[in-house]
Amino acid sequence: MQAFLGGVSEIPRTQALKEIWAYIKRHNLQDPENKKVIICDEQLKKIFGGKDRVGFLEIAGLISPHFLK
């Protein structure tokens, strides 16, 4: 996650979600037929556990392991 966010050591979860969503929009990674599905490139696969596609509602759960409790 740190590499994805440009080396930032600490960031609130909400800000991380905003950054991820901006990345998805910038790289046009939403499924054109179902905008709720994200098509993962290599960068997103690293933070989403290697998945090829994730649902929008899955994102928060998939990034949880990257944050301290």
3 within some domain:
no
Distance of CA 32 to the CA centre of its chain: 18
32 within some domain:
yes
Supply the range of the domain harboring residue 44.
13-66
Residue 44 has pLDDT above 80, yes or no: yes
Q: Say what the pTM is.
A: 0.84
Q: Report the domain count for the chain.
A: 1
5 within some domain:
no
Residues 6+ apart with CB under 8 A from 16: 1, 5, 63, 66, 67
4 within some domain:
no
1 within some domain:
no
Look up the CATH number of the domain holding residue 34: 1.10.245.10
Question: To 5 degrees, how large is the angle CA 48–CA 24–CA 61?
Answer: 35
Residue 8 has pLDDT above 80, yes or no: no
pLDDT band at 13 (very low <50, low <70, confident <90, very high): confident
How far, in Å, are 9, 38, 61, 62, 69 from residue 56 at the CA level?
25, 7, 10, 10, 22
> Which carries the bigger pLDDT value, residue 68 or residue 40?
40
43 within some domain:
yes
